Structure 1
Amino acid sequence: MKAANRFLTLLLLCCPLGAAPAHAEDGYDLWLRYRPLAGSARTALAARATAVVAPGTSPTIAAAVAELERGFGGMRGHPIARARSPADGAIVLATAAQARGLGLGLDAASLADLGAEGFRLRTTTARGKPVIAIVANTDIGLLYGSFRLLELAEQGASLAKLDLRSAPKLQLRVLDHWDNLDRSVERGYAGQSIWDWWTLPDYTGPRYTDYARANASIGINGAVLNNVNAVKESLTARYIAKTAALADVFRPYGIKVYLSARFSAPIELGGLKTADPLDPAVKAWWAAKADEIYRAIPDFGGFLVKANSEGQPGPQDYHRSHADGANVLAAAVRPHGGVVMYRAFVYSEHNAADRARQAYDDFKPLDGRFADNVIVQVKNGAIDFQPREPFHPLFGAMPKTPLMMEFQITKEYLGQATHLAYLGPLFEETLESDTLARGPGSTVARVLEGKVDPYRLTGMAGVANIGVDRDWSGSTFNQANWFAFGRFAWNPDGDAKAFADEWARMTFTPDPRFVAPAVAMMMGSREAVVDYMTPLGLAHQMATGHHYGPGPWVSDLARPEWNPTYYARADAKGIGFDRTAAGSDAIAQYAPALAARLADPDTTPERDLLWFHHVPWDRRMASGRTLWDELVTRYDHGVATAGAMQRTWQTLAPYVDAERFAKTRAFLAIQQREAQWWRDASVSWYQSLNHRPLPADSPAPAHPLAFYRAIDVPFAPGH
């Protein structure tokens, strides 16, 4: 386990709890359940959380105090008092200046490294009274510290000897909501959008506040409210007022709102004849629109932009560069302190060579040409949120242009709502990848943090998995991906297993008899999905449109890069996409030392083999098996793991309330059945090409290939 998590691990080990009674729950409370603790933990908490002392009076301090009262009152089983001065067992919230007045023995110098959002938790004394101090430079730091203190208590940690410091390593920690104004959600698998645009701005129900609480608890400080495939109405006065109402709810929790901007809005809303970013009238229109937004929302974060991708308008329509397009928006929001997050997800049907090359080819030549309040938002991989992709070659390749990560939290291509796929290992795998851009140790995480190149802006975005379902995310375990994203956005060097452990303790129970097997199940779940969907570097083998079930045979779509056969390139002799110099040469986009390693199939990690190489079916693998036998073995392993997760979950019934247990059990059954579908359909298709026998211990598919090709999945959610 990583050093950053050792202190927390020691805290959690020192106070194990027995299984608490499992009451019916629907998942609405997420990891902020605050249920009464059991036994000695409850007794200890009663002595160490007797009152809250907070000299500050801002709305953010009010939110922090309310959360402490709610949390500790719930865990203690009776209310916690509010006091004006320190008393035995009080929790004291104080900035550096306030800390001196309360006798906490802390000064501004001791908090200097925490910045504007960091905090310190410390068991200490105030005016001779034993207290727990939450200290920070700002009120938002105190709010973050309050949530962290509650999380430690909820996980069963001892609060007797606290001394914990934490500050975010990234500035922008943002959820991207691909929500439409009609409340449909692109890639949404948890019901309608939580933004009820029809009743806004007049009605802002409690769910908006609970959304803000949940995000603040994991350090998320921004939300893009509308789909990157934006419509012009989002920038009208009517919808700016609606956005302002949400901003008012979120502000005490440190969350700024952003909007996706439609590049052609000057034409569609402004009546101009062009949206050319170098046209003076277009520049003036965007400046006036920014002024209008900031009059309604003084702390508006800025714009997210998708341009010249998948049919969206953009600067290339006018023979301008993406830098030109980003900079006109950046100039509009700069006087107000706003930023532009400009997405690098671009691909065009006019480039038939290799979709994976296109973002690099478009953006690398523009390094250093973006305004200083632009940050380029890059997906973790070069295709589209596949179960596994090598890290995007732009990371480490743009030393003069800040890059932010774009992860998918919702699970398009990963079983959507019903398959258990904890994405913490995917996030960690990407962030730990070494770009070798400036020599060994130039990890993606360090690139994002501005430690490889000195970025002015840093950030991470996640495509949200949130809807109106009572459990927010479509299933209980999908909540873990939201949680893990927040943790990694705060600390890209974090530990996926530690985050899973924290989430499981708070979401279910701290009982180690539950936590250990549940976390083990979570940690193996994403690899299982890779195995039964896209093993050994295969990608985009999902069927047309819904991206739910298998369709490796699909080859008749209008654009070549929409077809699964484009990516697998399977034939009688072999399988895989040749990205070496003999193929698309996409490998050359990586740093030379890494490119040399990836150019050779023998030094390419087997998990990425078919992403970079077209290899024969009889290639000998590290296991000693042929590629074909290894591929089938991986499919079989994925199915077996799905079955094992079912059996593990069944043993955990004593620790989980009936409602959440039953829903998870049903979804695991769906996953096991569909893992078998994926395996059988894929094996049938590839066997029809290579005519090779299955390994001796691998069963034949249950049906002929024609059966799987005939399966249709109409009305799938998220589209």
Structure 2
Amino acid sequence: MLRKLLAILSAFLCFGLANQGHAEDGYDLWLRYRPLESSTVERYASRITNVVGPTDRPTIGAAVEELQRGVKGLFGHDLVRRETVMHDGAVLVTRADSPLLKNLDLPFARLGDEGYLIRTAMVQGKRTTIIAGNGDIGALYGVFRFLRLLQAGQPIDRLDIVDAPKLQVRVLNHWDNLDRHVERGYAGQSLWDWQKLPRFKDPRYTDYARANASIGINGTVLTNVNANADILRPDYLQKVKALAELFRPYGIKVYLTARFSAPIELGGLGTADPLDPAVRAWWKAKIDEIYAVIPDFGGLLVKANSEGQPGPADYHRTHAEGANMLADALAPHHGILMWRAFVYAAENAEDRHKQAYTEFQPLDGKFRDNVLVQVKNGAIDFQPREPFHPLFGAMPRTPLMMEFQITKEYLGFATHLAYLGTMWEEVLEADTFRPARGSTVAKVIETPVDAGAVTGMAGVANIGSDRNWSGSQFDQANWYAFGRFAWDPDAKAEAIARDWARMTWGKDPAVTDTIVRMMMGSREAVVDYMTPLGLTHQMATGHHYGPGPWVSDLKRPEWNPVYYAQARPDGIGFDRTSRGSDALAQYAPQVARNWGSLATVPDELLLWFHHLPWDHRMKSGRTLWDALVIRYDAGVDHVRRMQADWVGLRGKVDETRWAEVRDFLEIQLDEAIWWRDASIAWFQSISKRPLPEGHKPPAHDLDYYKAITTPYAPGQGK
């Protein structure tokens, strides 16, 4: 009897663990591999019995290890590994040149270097799931895709999947400093413990590589764009080498940021002029040195002549002349140079929206073939909403790569739930009309400017030393979504959100549907309570935390929020039509006409391009002032709805993560109300209009909100 009771108790405990999980903290990301229902496991039982793959290839080894890890977690038993012997239910992880595939007609020609296929077929007379690519990395990507199917409980009986990335360079930009401070980072310190490298290699580095490979990211820029030349010293290159060795099996190349003045700071030269022979020789020697240490080094990223950083303009040279000097040194090693187009200068009185276009567009066709000009999604600076950058489509002879910001510098840091997939989809789907209708931003960055030209996408990482990697559970979704969009810029934000929700929170439709609904409206809510109707850059300056629309005393005009809102007694908004800065002229004529006309400009971009009276009649019939207040309240109301949705999920997800999200949503609501009240108090002091009926006044007077300071907000530059 006692034995029977113990057995019942054991079964009960196992059931509880399987359904409630251990006290999760988010470390496992979307690679949780939690047990599937017994009926699903039984359905898979005869389809997955063993794994076959060569044992002498590190990347195939990583793929097989991941498959074994996944099956162990999902099914509760080990997956036997064999090198060549096939059995029914085998999963064959291999390359196109495997002898086991020689008699099969498989579409490897469509896969390129990194694509994969997953196909159900007979191999040596045994029913087999083939996961293969032309290269080892394709097989690894295919395994992660296969595991995604298993996590979702999808059928695997007759698989025929062919997939390949549309962009070649898919990189994270870590704004990490050598002292482990992360600029615009909200998830703790940098992952890279330079003091302990190269001797101690934190196991977390491998988990980082696994997570990136699972979404197709194939490069990582380890250091801040506000670069420190010390990273190029021989001792630091040995530390970088240690990371490169860990990442290599996962198809991830390492890149570094290059400080343009390094020949002066490290080389003792008197100049960094890119046309100076001694400078060119110094860079050639340094890059040769890097490749001698790290043969598969990816290349360099440069921020030049922006926000005080050194660059070629210091010597009256163009961006192309500066970039080409470095590109020439990288070319013999097949390295690439990513040169940021984010430039603005205090001495330039031009509308900040226009500065990058003005400096770069005339240089179209003058960059070397291995240069990627890295362009932010919008012309200002990673705002909650921006129109697409006018450079997209305007440089047809220059490879442009997209730069998104995954870390939420302007969207409430880690505590505000803001799924950025919807923002990125909005930008990528935008039609540049260059050269014609249908030339979306996605097509611009996907289409090589000539045969063999490089394509790419970069994302400013939100990853840090916090146990949950990104500072919050939901910010993991933005890391995940970036990888999916970098693989396929034509992907859809909702489908990505659904995949992430299933893998991260479980596949109960009641949970998944609720979470996806929260995510899909979350970014629009942030736009509404921070910068509605096309307002922009209304954040407190420096740290960008909280509202500061009244700030006007900083020495550079474009550092001041009043510069962007242009709020005066006569109205609000930045006139970028031909009557104002004429920034619209940088877009294709069809785009300029659409956004330049009050009849066709979307409400979401209205004040970005137009300065209008407070009593301007909107398409809804409301006045502009009333519409502005209503949008602020809509943003706050959406946060309340997210709270209610999340309360309804208690008991359906693990308590630890549920409680963290609950607390963060409370913070978000408090700060959304702060944003709403402070902004309305400021703009009402200028407009002198009453609030629309049914909308309550701010809780405090304007002086109260102006007096709030947060000097120690995280993520500020150093």
Instruction: Give the CA deviation at 1:452.
Output: 7.9
Kept in 1, the 8 Å contact 2:183–2:224? The answer is yes
Q: Is the aligned partner of 1:77 residue 2:45? A: no
Instruction: Tell me how far apart the structure 1 counterparts of residues 531 and 101 of structure 2 sit (CA, whole Å).
Output: 59
Partner in structure 1 of residue 122 of structure 2: 125
Kept in 2, the 8 Å contact 1:104–1:124? The answer is no
Partner in structure 1 of residue 459 of structure 2: 462
Give the counterpart letter for 2:608 in structure 1: W
Instruction: Give the CA deviation at 1:22.
Output: 4.2
**From 169, 174, 190, the counterpart of 1:172:** 169
Partner in structure 2 of residue 289 of structure 1: 286
Give the counterpart letter for 1:596 in structure 2: R
Partner SS for 1:317: helix
Give the counterpart letter for 1:540 in structure 2: H
Give the counterpart letter for 1:168 in structure 2: P
Instruction: Give the CA deviation at 1:453.
Output: 7.4
Q: Is the aligned partner of 1:349 residue 2:352? A: no
Instruction: Give the CA deviation at 1:451.
Output: 6.4
Partner in structure 1 of residue 46 of structure 2: 47
Say how many residue pairs are matched: 698
Q: Is the aligned partner of 1:88 residue 2:93? A: no
Instruction: Tell me how far apart the structure 2 counterparts of residues 434 and 567 of structure 1 sit (CA, whole Å).
Output: 25
Kept in 1, the 8 Å contact 2:313–2:319? The answer is yes
Give the counterpart letter for 2:328 in structure 1: A
Kept in 2, the 8 Å contact 1:197–1:242? The answer is yes
Instruction: Tell me how far apart the structure 1 counterparts of residues 177 and 599 of structure 2 sit (CA, whole Å).
Output: 46
Partner in structure 1 of residue 357 of structure 2: 360
Partner in structure 2 of residue 386 of structure 1: 383
Partner in structure 2 of residue 638 of structure 1: 635
Q: Is the aligned partner of 1:299 residue 2:296? A: yes
**From 598, 613, 616, the counterpart of 1:616:** 613
Q: Is the aligned partner of 1:550 residue 2:547? A: yes
Aligned 1:267-278 pairs, distance under 5 A: 267-278=264-275
Partner in structure 2 of residue 62 of structure 1: 61
Partner in structure 1 of residue 406 of structure 2: 409
Kept in 2, the 8 Å contact 1:411–1:417? The answer is yes
Per-residue displacement from partner, 1:349-392 (whole Å, max 9, x unpaired)?
Answer: 01122111000000001001101110100000000000000000
Aligned 1:107-122 pairs, distance under 5 A: 107=106, 110-122=107-119
Kept in 1, the 8 Å contact 2:399–2:449? The answer is no
Which of 280-289 and 350-359 deviates more?
350-359
Give the counterpart letter for 2:86 in structure 1: P
Partner in structure 2 of residue 714 of structure 1: 711
Give the counterpart letter for 1:209 in structure 2: T
Per-residue displacement from partner, 1:508-562 (whole Å, max 9, x unpaired)?
Answer: 1011010001101000000000000000100000012110100000000110000
Partner in structure 2 of residue 667 of structure 1: 664
Per-residue displacement from partner, 1:323-344 (whole Å, max 9, x unpaired)?
Answer: 0000010011111010000000
Q: Is the aligned partner of 1:688 residue 2:685? A: yes
Partner in structure 2 of residue 595 of structure 1: 592
Per-residue displacement from partner, 1:617-657 (whole Å, max 9, x unpaired)?
Answer: 11111222111111111100000000110110011112211
Partner in structure 2 of residue 486 of structure 1: 483
Partner SS for 1:670: helix
**From 243, 246, 253, the counterpart of 1:246:** 243
Partner SS for 2:695: coil
Instruction: Tell me how far apart the structure 1 counterparts of residues 47 and 458 of structure 2 sit (CA, whole Å).
Output: 37
Partner in structure 2 of residue 340 of structure 1: 337
Partner in structure 2 of residue 14 of structure 1: none
Partner SS for 2:577: coil
RMSD: 1.2
Instruction: Give the CA deviation at 1:93.
Output: 1.2
Which of 647-656 and 502-511 deviates more?
647-656
Partner in structure 1 of residue 673 of structure 2: 676
Which of 76-85 and 311-320 deviates more?
76-85
Give the counterpart letter for 1:51 in structure 2: N
Aligned 1:379-528 pairs, distance under 5 A: 379-450=376-447, 456-528=453-525
Kept in 1, the 8 Å contact 2:643–2:662? The answer is yes
Kept in 1, the 8 Å contact 2:398–2:449? The answer is no
The unaligned stretches of length 5 or more in structure 2 are 1-17
Partner in structure 1 of residue 10 of structure 2: none
Kept in 1, the 8 Å contact 2:40–2:153? The answer is yes
Instruction: Tell me how far apart the structure 1 counterparts of residues 428 and 308 of structure 2 sit (CA, whole Å).
Output: 30
Partner SS for 1:131: strand
Partner SS for 2:19: coil
Partner SS for 1:616: coil
Partner SS for 2:85: coil
Per-residue displacement from partner, 1:241-270 (whole Å, max 9, x unpaired)?
Answer: 111110000000000000000000001111
Partner in structure 2 of residue 11 of structure 1: none
Instruction: Give the CA deviation at 1:128.
Output: 1.8
Instruction: Give the CA deviation at 1:63.
Output: 0.5
Instruction: Give the CA deviation at 1:94.
Output: 2.3
Instruction: Give the CA deviation at 1:74.
Output: 1.0
Aligned 1:206-245 pairs, distance under 5 A: 206-245=203-242
Kept in 1, the 8 Å contact 2:59–2:249? The answer is yes
Instruction: Give the CA deviation at 1:161.
Output: 1.9
Instruction: Give the CA deviation at 1:441.
Output: 0.4
Partner SS for 2:131: strand
Instruction: Give the CA deviation at 1:40.
Output: 1.5
Per-residue displacement from partner, 1:181-230 (whole Å, max 9, x unpaired)?
Answer: 00000000000000000000111111000000000000000000000000
Kept in 2, the 8 Å contact 1:63–1:143? The answer is yes
Give the counterpart letter for 1:106 in structure 2: D
Q: For the structure 1 residues 456 and 103, does the alpha-carbon distance in structure 2 shift closer, same or farther, using more than 3 Å as the test?
A: closer
Give the counterpart letter for 1:30 in structure 2: L
Kept in 1, the 8 Å contact 2:54–2:61? The answer is no
Give the counterpart letter for 2:550 in structure 1: W
Partner in structure 1 of residue 22 of structure 2: 23
Partner in structure 2 of residue 97 of structure 1: 97
Instruction: Tell me how far apart the structure 2 counterparts of residues 307 and 700 of structure 1 sit (CA, whole Å).
Output: 46
Instruction: Give the CA deviation at 1:714.
Output: 2.2
Instruction: Give the CA deviation at 1:475.
Output: 0.4
Instruction: Tell me how far apart the structure 2 counterparts of residues 231 and 601 of structure 1 sit (CA, whole Å).
Output: 47
The unaligned stretches of length 5 or more in structure 1 are 1-18
Instruction: Tell me how far apart the structure 1 counterparts of residues 24 and 95 of structure 2 sit (CA, whole Å).
Output: 37
Partner in structure 1 of residue 570 of structure 2: 573
Instruction: Tell me how far apart the structure 2 counterparts of residues 574 and 363 of structure 1 sit (CA, whole Å).
Output: 33
Instruction: Tell me how far apart the structure 2 counterparts of residues 676 and 594 of structure 1 sit (CA, whole Å).
Output: 35
Per-residue displacement from partner, 1:271-328 (whole Å, max 9, x unpaired)?
Answer: 1111000000000000000000000000000000000000000000000000000001
**From 589, 602, 605, the counterpart of 1:605:** 602
Instruction: Give the CA deviation at 1:468.
Output: 0.5
Give TM-score, length-normalised by structure 1: 0.96
Instruction: Tell me how far apart the structure 1 counterparts of residues 144 and 153 of structure 2 sit (CA, whole Å).
Output: 14
Q: Percent same amino acid at aligned positions?
A: 65
Partner in structure 2 of residue 4 of structure 1: none
Partner in structure 2 of residue 12 of structure 1: none
Which of 554-563 and 147-156 deviates more?
147-156
Instruction: Tell me how far apart the structure 2 counterparts of residues 671 and 534 of structure 1 sit (CA, whole Å).
Output: 15
Which of 164-173 and 620-629 deviates more?
620-629
Instruction: Tell me how far apart the structure 2 counterparts of residues 145 and 565 of structure 1 sit (CA, whole Å).
Output: 50
Kept in 2, the 8 Å contact 1:434–1:440? The answer is yes
Kept in 1, the 8 Å contact 2:530–2:538? The answer is yes
Instruction: Tell me how far apart the structure 2 counterparts of residues 207 and 642 of structure 1 sit (CA, whole Å).
Output: 34
Instruction: Tell me how far apart the structure 2 counterparts of residues 355 and 251 of structure 1 sit (CA, whole Å).
Output: 40
Partner SS for 2:20: coil
Partner in structure 1 of residue 151 of structure 2: 154
Kept in 2, the 8 Å contact 1:352–1:561? The answer is no
Instruction: Give the CA deviation at 1:151.
Output: 1.1
